[in-house]
Amino acid sequence: MAVASASTASDVQNPSSLGRERDQSLNLDSLKEIGKKALIDALNSVNGAKTLVLDPTLAGPLGLVTEVSLLKHHGVDKMFWLEPGPLSSTTTNIVYLCRPLIKYVKILADQIKRHARESLKHRYTLFLVPRTSTLVSRILEEEGVLGDVTISSYNLQFIPIAEDVVSLEQDNAFKEIWVDGDETVIYNSALALDTLQKLYGPYPRIIGKGDYASRLATLLSRPLPEQPIPGEFNKPVVTAPFDSLIILDRQVDMITPLLTQLTYEGLIDELIGISNSQVELPVSLLTPPSAPNPANPASLPSTSAAAVTPVNNEKMKKHHLTAATDPLFAEFRDLNFSSVGKNLNRVAHRLDEDYKSRHQAKTPAQLRDFVGKLGGLQSEHQALRLHTGISEILVPITRTDIFNKSLEIQQNLLASYEVSKQTSAIEDLIAQGAEMQIVVRLLCLASITAGGIKAKSLESIKRDLLQAYGYNYLPLLLSLSASPLSILLPNPLPVSTAPSVAASKYPFTTLRKSLRLLIDDNPDALDEVENDISFVYSGYAPISVRLIQCIAQKNGVISNPAEKVLTDEADGKGSSKKLYAHPILGWKGFEDVLAAMPGKTFDIMQKGPGGDSSPPSISSLLRSSEQTSTTVVFFLGGCTYTEIAALRWVNRQHKGRKFLIATTGIVSGGSLIESIAGFGKKGPGSKDTSI
Amino acid sequence: MDGTVQHPTATWDAMPDGNVFYRRQQLYSMPGKLPDLGDYVIAGCRNGGPLALMRDTTKLIAVGRATPAFTKAQIQIYSPAGEGLLLFSWDQGKIIRYGWSFDERLVVLNEEGVYRLYDLQGDHQQFSFGAEAAELGIVDARIHENGLVALTGSLTLLEVKGWEGGRPLALAPPGLSEPPHAWAVIPPDQNISRHVEVLLSVDATILAVDNLESVDQRLSRGPFTHVSPSPNGKLLALLTFTGLLWVVSTDFQRSLAEFDTTSVGAHGIVNQVEWCGNDAILVTWDNLALLVGPSGDTLRYLYFGTTFAVTEIDGIRVISQDVCDLIQKVPASSLSVFRPGSFSPSAILFDAWESFSRRSPKADESIRSIRHDLAAAVNECIDAAGREWEPYWQRRLLSAAKFGWGFLDLYNPTDFVAMGQALKVLNAVRFFEIGIPLTYSQYNYASPSQLVTRLTSRNLHLLALRISSFLSLKPDVVLKHWASAKLAKSKSSTEEGDDEVCRLIVDKFQTLGGGDVSYADIAKRAWEVGRAGLATKLLDHETRSSDQVPLLLAMKEDKLALIKAVDSGDTDLVYHVLLHLHKRLPLGSFFRLIEDGGERLASASRLLQVYAREQNREMLRDFYYSDDRRVESAVLSLEEASRMTDPSAVTSAVKAAHKFFSEDKDRTFEAKMTDESTRLLAFQQQLEKEADGKVTFFGLSVSETIRTCLLNGMAKKADRVKADFKVPDKRFWYLKLHALTSMRDFEALDTFARSKRSPIGYEAFVRHLLEKGHSKEASAYVLRCDAPKRVDLYVDCGDWRNAGRECKERGDKARLEQLKKKCPNSLIARELDHMIASMK
């Protein structure tokens, strides 16, 4: 058995790496290594055994770079969450690891003071992620414990969460920027992008859209403070150098996250919830029923201490969803959910065939062959079980009335079909007791797509909402309608509205036409051919990805390249011959579209260390024919799984360019709304938001 | 020695066993430059650094000496060549100890726990151990290159890491009852644990103390008068009161050598026990220095008067009143080339080259004989060149190397070039006027850039700059120091205009390619010497706004500092400015500064709000109030309400919010809502009272209140809430449907369903009941649904019989057939068959 499981890993890896062309993309492992090394260095700087007190929001991100065993190796005796209340520690050293948030610092100060009262002697070290902060030392000073704490930093920046996605895992980035006006995330993003630049080479060109995106680009084009890269990492071999950095801020496309994601991974996020690539699932799904085959090395123990909420009286366990060890997930994650079932079926049949192949094994050699494959089959079998199980959780929810009604409202709003009827449909959803976030998402969607909701019906629907979910959501409604967010507005705007709100009006109907957002597909074709990026929303193309296509795949905006390939095939030309990606030429050809959208548009040539502002087009032209280049796409304020799926689709349409998706975090409409509601959720009355 | 250069081996001495050679290289001769070292407390800096001398007040001075009597403590600093570098007097409390940091600054610690770092220009930075340590007093200390460990009056140990004024950390309590006989510190970078270790000689044993624990090493030979760790921290030399020198590993696991120092017949007490590199120990008395090798062999070196020895990584420097010597083990490469009778390839190569330069044919023969080892021989000659002090021998060895590589097919000359460069630099700094007797290994250990820094700190800017450009190092360090020195000098001469100095500095920076030089640092310096105008001018040249901010703050250019901080995008910097200003300015003008900033300072204003929301709500209230921000004030009140638990406090907070909203005519909706909210809260309190406090209502939403009423049998109250808050029928019906279902009160549900025509239809009833698993009850409502849907609904309810009947009524035979195919068991199938039959 042991032999079989040992061979499992390689067997699992092979099909996935063959399936996707990973040959020339950037190696992101060094990012992970850097994160790990920095953590070890930080822990080692405190001598002896230590108690680690961890910011709960960091557990997920840390789980992506390290394991508990590594912490134990470096002297961590016990681990606690950084939570209010007393802390008892058996070791002299107490190490706090948290983001520089005021609430954490206060908890920490409180615990130190408590120890002092009980005259317990401890040595306190505080590691702030990603860098130290004047604010923290000031608050410690105000609390009178600054002298007792040694403050240092743990520079955790981009964490690879898939082979082509890196994330800062800052879940609240959107709220902090657009609601609080706290631009710390922007600065941290600039530092993190700068580190990428130091590791993999400079970005020759920075293109983007959005006011805050432009702010980030300006920061990047100026000298940033030196950051030590821990351990002076030997630079990874850069196989595909950067050709540009595209920055989009979330406000450029607020519509996409408001919609219900319809890819497999996106739907899991919508309906079950994925945080830091981990999803909570019933234990029975994760443990193989009979064979003690450790087919899931991915199930991390790191967060096992996290709160376990018993749902349906079954124990839940976190599972790390990753394509690296789960070939089926790699295959399914970006598919429209409607075709997942069919594919599961297909895999099941294939597995069955494979198992049956043992009957054909006549000679001992054939038998040995089969036994060799067995491990792979079993792990695939387990993966199949898992994904069937997940689908079984998802399907009933997708059949509910509320889910389908909300999808219907979304589609109607996107097509601007009977807009006023949609508002009353939203009211019905409130009456039926739909989740708050679903209702608010639809409401914002209605406001953006129609340029505001009729003042009277808006008011009544807001009143309904407050009555149904609690008056403590009033600040949420105010935040949504206030500048700079302005995604919930009456139509026409009252005279007294600030000009900034009026200026941010979104020209949705024009964009729908100029960017070809809605695709009239017959639903049958959708299952078979991924015609366009719109498959991620069953017929609607996310604006953000269309904008990226405006830069990196211009013909994709105007027509379906996939269709063209199909006709080429019919003509008898080379079937698998993909076109080379055209060089990055900025927004050329789409300037008008961009000008109509609110937010700054920018296109900055970076002065490289070698050639100054010499036209990079020649070099990039040359490069594109010889070498693969990487385009970094940075989503300031987070991106959705659907956007990742759509970009991967764009990636597959041509050769010569790879996308590296960088983001402040993975978001969904629900997570955005809930983060803005923030304190409202903690309110006394709303422990249970669903009626 | 005049004229002719003596052979390298002239300085060599063989240990008695004849295999190991040590050499005493005279670095400088300096008759009469130093005072009598016996009268002074001395601290020597490693890597060929200077000596600091202070009168030892415990010793008597002979009357009539030339030295003046000092009333105050004075510290003199001499270069190894005996040149006076600095003299300054000490006006603080009694000096406990002083020593040198890695970057050649003198660390002086007094009994009050105050320590200063003096650079070679006499400028100092002062730090302190804090009030507690001052009270206890510091009785002793050990200073190493990157920190110090102090022994307090209560015999505990405090450690300071680095020289940035870090907080002293207490080490594990050693539990001493009296001061140790002797003690020493192994610096962190030489310890496996990477943390400092203190070795204390207590009674007969040694205590090893670090920040975690104090370990008794259980020795019986003590007490010791000298404890001296080797430069690499691996070995320890201990001298007992009986004069026994004992060498052990620092983990006390291996005893390496023992030697009785009383046997050498020296007079007086032992002055120093210091390591010579990592392999021998120098024990000094007045007039005598004894080198004890690893196997207990000794070499005697005679000196006149008291000496002072400074351990180096590759030897030991011995300074007496008139000479400065370097004693070291002869490096392997030198030994290989010059050892008498050596037949090593490098010796033969050197011999071959000498023959060649004498035009002797023997050269060719020699080269041939070492053909295979030629590359190694060349490398060894290059290395040996680095170990020689005299340029004459350096040149000869390099020439020999060059000669040798001519016979090689391929040779990479990088090492040769690098050595040539290094030697050129080393010879320059060894010159007695500069007086840095740096060896090649020390140069490599401490890095060339450290050498450049050392030169600049001696104000030798030109040499430093030339060396920087010779070694292609960045010139910014030198330029920065130069500019600071320039400012310091010009501080008195005000006639030199600000423009003039600014131009001078900027020109120099630009022409010498110091693009990386921070103008902010120079500007800060200008500000410190009181030239604000110049500082502003220089600051204009700074490109990094983050560097401009601290100085602007210091110059009280508050608004500019804030603007620059905002521009930098670094929120931490903005906080820095905000918190600083908040502390310094009156609240009113602080607010005005931010509000007047308009759009430019908007992000600063928002950051202030983020901070204040968590930490200083009172200030935030004032801030909103002063700016007439009613909506924000209201939201703040609501936020507070959501954090409170006391009902009356919550109500009053919501009321406050209502007041703020109603003051703004554009916020009538919000005002109405907050009003409703207070009404609801009041009603909820009343409900709780009526439910005798058994049910919680307070803080629930309107819908939840209705549901809770229904669940607790207060249907009348639910109707009342519905009426009072104008809850739409649809929502009310759903609520009641859900509530009654969850109570399984199907009778009440039925009454309710019949009470009037359902505004949500009856399909909702069926669906919800089904969802909750009450298919039997659900089926009862199907009849009231739209006719076309009934069959499907019946099927969903599992009510096949009724589904069949429905089909029959509608005459849909095809559907009936379909049902039959899908039906779960034969019983039903038969029944359906029956129906089909009856339809004919």
Confidence of residue B501 (pLDDT cuts 50, 70, 90): confident
Q: pLDDT of B726-743, one tens digit each?
A: 999 999 999 999 999 999
Q: What is the mean pLDDT of residues A30-56?
A: 86
Compute the distance between CA of residue A632 and CA of residue A625 in angstroms, rounded to an integer. Answer: 19
Q: A45: which chain B residues are within 8 Å (Cβ-Cβ)?
A: 194
| Cβ separation A468–B650 shorter than 8 A | no
Give B35-87 pLDDT, tens digit per residue: 888 888 899 998 888 999 888 777 665 555 545 545 567 888 998 888 888 88
In the DSSP assignment, the letter for residue A176 is I
Q: Which residue of B has its CA nearest to A429?
A: B731
- Which residue in chain B has the smallest CA separation from A684? B699
Q: Average per-residue pLDDT in chain B? A: 86
| CA-based end-to-end distance of chain B | 138
CA angle B162-A135-B128, nearest 5°?
30
Distance from CA of B542 to the nearest CA of A (A): 12
Say if the Cβ atoms of A478 and B569 lie within 8 Å: no
Query: Across the interface, which of B212, B730, B731 has its CB nearest the CB of A48?
Result: B212
Residue of chain A whose alpha carbon sits nearest to that of B765:
A432
Indicate the pLDDT class of residue B513, thresholds 50, 70 and 90: low
Asked if A566 has any chain B CB less than 8 Å from its own CB, the reply is no
Which of B215, B571, B665 is best to mutate for the A interface (most A CBs within 10 A)? B571
Closest in A225, A494, A691 to B703, CB measured: A691
Higher pLDDT, A292 or A375: A375
**Residues 65-94 (A) with a CB less than 8 A from some CB of B:** 92
CA distance B576 to chain A (A): 6
User: Which distant-in-sequence residues (6+ apart) come within 8 Å of A69 by Cβ?
Assistant: none
Highest mean pLDDT among A11-25, A433-447, A650-664, B22-36: A433-447
What distances in angstroms separate CA A610 from CA A606, A613, B166, B659, one per listed residue? Answer: 11, 10, 41, 63
Considering only alpha carbons, which residue of chain A is nearest residue B767?
A401
Q: State how far the Cα of A78 lies from the Cα of A60, in Å rounded to an integer.
A: 18
- pLDDT of B253 above 50: yes
Instruction: Flag whether pLDDT at B672 surpasses 50.
Output: yes
Does position A463 have pLDDT exceeding 90, yes or no? Answer: yes
Task: Give the closest of A48, A123, A467 to B701, CB-based.
Answer: A467
How confident is residue A216, by pLDDT bands cut at 50, 70 and 90? very high
Supply the pLDDT for residue A534.
Answer: 83
The ipTM of this complex is: 0.83
Using 50, 70 and 90 to split pLDDT, how confident is the model at B382? very high
Average pLDDT over residues B823-836: 82
- Where does the pLDDT of residue B495 fall: very low under 50, low under 70, confident under 90, or very high at 90 and above? low
Ramachandran assignment for B662, one of left (phi > 0), alpha (psi -120 to 50 degrees), beta (any other): alpha
Interface test with B, best of A471, A479, A488 (most B CBs within 10 A): A471
pLDDT over 70 percentage in chain B:
96
Opening angle at CA A177, ends A171 and A181, nearest 5: 140
Q: How many Cβ atoms are within 10 Å of A391's Cβ, its own excluded?
A: 18
pLDDT at B384 over 80: yes
Determine the pLDDT at residue B383. Answer: 92
pLDDT of residue B739: 92
Over range A513-526, report the average pLDDT: 70
pLDDT tens string B783-820:
888 888 888 888 888 888 888 888 888 888 888 888 88
Q: Which of residues 121-160 of A touch B (CB under 8 A)?
A: 123, 131-135, 138-139, 142, 147, 150
Supply the Cα-derived Rg of chain A in whole angstroms. 26
Select, from the ranges A119-123, B407-411, B765-769, the one with the highest average predicted confidence (pLDDT).
B765-769
Per-residue pLDDT tens digits for B183-220: 999 988 888 777 889 999 988 888 899 888 888 888 88
pLDDT at res. A608: 54
Number of H helices, E strands in chain B: 33, 29
pLDDT tens digits for range A603-631? 998 765 443 344 444 444 444 445 788 89
pLDDT score at A313? 53
Task: Find the length of chain B.
Answer: 840
The residue of chain A nearest to residue B679, with distances taken between CA atoms, is A471
Alpha-carbon span B46 to B104, nearest angstrom:
9
Q: For B475-493, write each residue's pLDDT tens digit.
A: 878 888 888 887 777 755 5
d(CA B148, CA B163) in angstroms, rounded, equals: 9
| Helix and strand counts by DSSP (H, E) for chain A | 31, 19
List pLDDT tens digits, range B459-475. Answer: 888 888 888 888 888 78
Mean per-residue pLDDT for A419-448?
Answer: 92
Q: What is the mean pLDDT of chain A?
A: 80
Averaged over A534-552, what is the pLDDT?
A: 89
pLDDT at B34: 83
- Of the two residues A664 and A318, the one the predictor is more confident about is A664
Q: What integer is the mean pLDDT of B503-528?
A: 76
- Per cent of chain A over pLDDT 90 is 26
Q: Where are the alpha helices (DSSP H) in A585-662?
A: 591-596, 616-626, 641-652
> How near does any CA of chain A get to the CA of B194, in Å?
8
Inter-CA distances, A137 with A99, A109, A147, A462, B554, Å: 13, 11, 10, 42, 19
Between A115-124, A148-157, A221-230, the lowest mean confidence (pLDDT) is in: A221-230
Q: Which residues of A290-311 are buried (b: 16+ CB within 10 A; e: fewer)?
A: eeebebbebbbebbeebeeeee
* pLDDT of A101 over the 90 cut: no
| The pLDDT of residue B1 | 39
Instruction: Name which of B195, B569, B707 is nearest A691 (Cβ-Cβ).
Output: B707
Dist CA B793 CA B799 (whole Å): 9
Q: How confident is the model at residue B548 (pLDDT cuts 50, 70, 90)?
A: confident
Give the mean model confidence (pLDDT) for residues B438-463.
88
What's the whole-model pTM score?
A: 0.76
Q: Is the pLDDT of residue A681 over 50?
A: no
Could you tell me the pLDDT band of residue A237, with boundaries at 50, 70 and 90?
A: low
What is the 8-class DSSP label of residue A180?
A: I
Shortest CA gap A467–chain B (Å) = 5
pLDDT at residue A520, rounded to an integer: 65
Do B606 and A180 meet the contact criterion of CB atoms below 8 Å apart?
yes
Q: List, for residues B113-150, the tens digit of each pLDDT value.
A: 889 999 888 888 899 888 888 888 889 999 998 889 99
Element (H, E) at A603: strand A601-605
Between the two ends of chain A, the Cα-to-Cα distance in Å is: 51
